[in-house]
Amino acid sequence: MLSYKIDGGEFIKPQFDNYPDGTMKIDVAQADKCEKVEIRWLYENETEQMQLFFIASNLKERFPKAEMTLFMPYLPNARMDRVHSDTEVFTLKYFCRFINAIGFDKVTVLDVHSSVGAALLDRCENLSPAPYIGKALEAAGFDPDNDYLFFPDEGAMKRYSSMFTVKHAGFGIKKRDWSTGKILGLDVDGDDPAGRNIFIIDDICAYGGTVFYSAQKLKELGCKDINVYFSHCENSIEKGKLFGCGLIKNIYTTNSICTLAENDILKIMKL
């Protein structure tokens, strides 16, 4: 979803339609002058990429001296941060090149999945998710002296463990079938989770397989309630096992990419 605001006013949603041939028809609000334009992109699909180009180009043409920034909390193509053969297309590199070509004065992302993405974007600010994780911890009633922070893998532990001071923590070590790439299970490295409430932190969720196996193992080890935080949660989570497995109390995420309605488990924090 795209919106923009001029000189600190209210966010405005452009009007989108299509001509009979399928090409875009876009209308934006009238303004006589402008010193600053803020464009906000909460990603839903790739069609919005061209909408962004048309809208930003129009506003730059109308207000050539205005500062123009982009708030894009979820970085599309962030998972494709490297290629392993000549047949693979380095989509993240080309997407960032596209954004750079528009010429924003600043591009702000949230908890970017790969540092490669932040490095490829010009004038990029990568926001820490700590304030959102903190809100989720508070909502879950997390006790830093008695409860347990868990990270699904060592990468998540390195990314988030320094943000909070707790007495009990651990991370997952995946057991994988390397011939298929399928996760077979998970071992826990760290403090004993038995009898403790667990709070799991990760950056992005598609189907939630890693967190599902984490929750299974933590329950086997005798933990109590499990709450989860994702900075970015794809709508595909409802096709995975987390909602119906009975292992998870609450899942907290932002609306950076998730457009699902809240339910008994899913809790969404608006950016």
Q: What is the pLDDT of residue 33?
A: 85
Query: What is the dotted CATH code of the domain comprising 2-127?
Result: 3.40.50.2020
Q: Which residue is associated with the tokens 């189907």?
A: 207
Q: What is the pLDDT of residue 92?
A: 95
Q: How many CB atoms lie within 10 A of CB 150?
A: 30
Segment 225-258, tens digit of pLDDT: 999 999 999 999 999 999 989 999 999 999 999 9
Domains 2-127 and 130-269 share a fold: yes
Count CA within 13 A, CB hemisphere, residue 69. 16
- DSSP secondary structure, 84-105, as one string: SSTTS--HHHHHHHHHHHHT-S
Q: How many CB atoms lie within 10 A of CB 247?
A: 18
Full-prediction pTM beyond 0.75? Answer: yes
**Is 206 exposed, middle or buried (CB count within 10 Å of its CB: 0-12, 13-18, 19+)?**
middle
Average pLDDT, the chain: 93
Among 171-175, 177-181, 241-245, the least confident range: 177-181
Q: What is the pLDDT of residue 82?
A: 87
Among 19-23, 49-53, 56-60, 81-85, the least confident range: 81-85
Query: Higher pLDDT residue, 182 or 269?
Result: 269
- Spatial separation of the C-alpha atoms in residues 14 and 31, rounded to whole Å: 13
Structure tokens at 38: 């803020």
Domain 130-269 has what CATH class?
A: alpha beta
Pairing state between β 148-151 and 169-177: parallel
Segment 93-140, tens digit of pLDDT: 999 999 999 999 999 999 999 889 999 999 999 999 999 999 999 999
Segment 189-219, tens digit of pLDDT: 999 999 999 999 999 999 998 899 999 999 9
- Spatial separation of the C-alpha atoms in residues 12 and 5, rounded to whole Å: 6
Q: How many CB atoms lie within 10 A of CB 139?
A: 14
Q: What is the pLDDT of residue 8?
A: 87
Helix (H, G, I), strand (E, B) or coil at 253: strand
Strand partners, 15: 27
Contact between 55 and 39 under an 8 Å Cβ cutoff? The reply is yes
Q: What is the pLDDT of residue 256?
A: 97
Q: Where are the domains of the chain?
A: 2-127, 130-269
Q: How many CB atoms lie within 10 A of CB 6?
A: 20
Structure tokens at 254: 């932002």
Picking from 17, 14, 74, 19, the residue whose alpha carbon sits closest to that of residue 41 is 74
Q: What is the pLDDT of residue 22?
A: 93
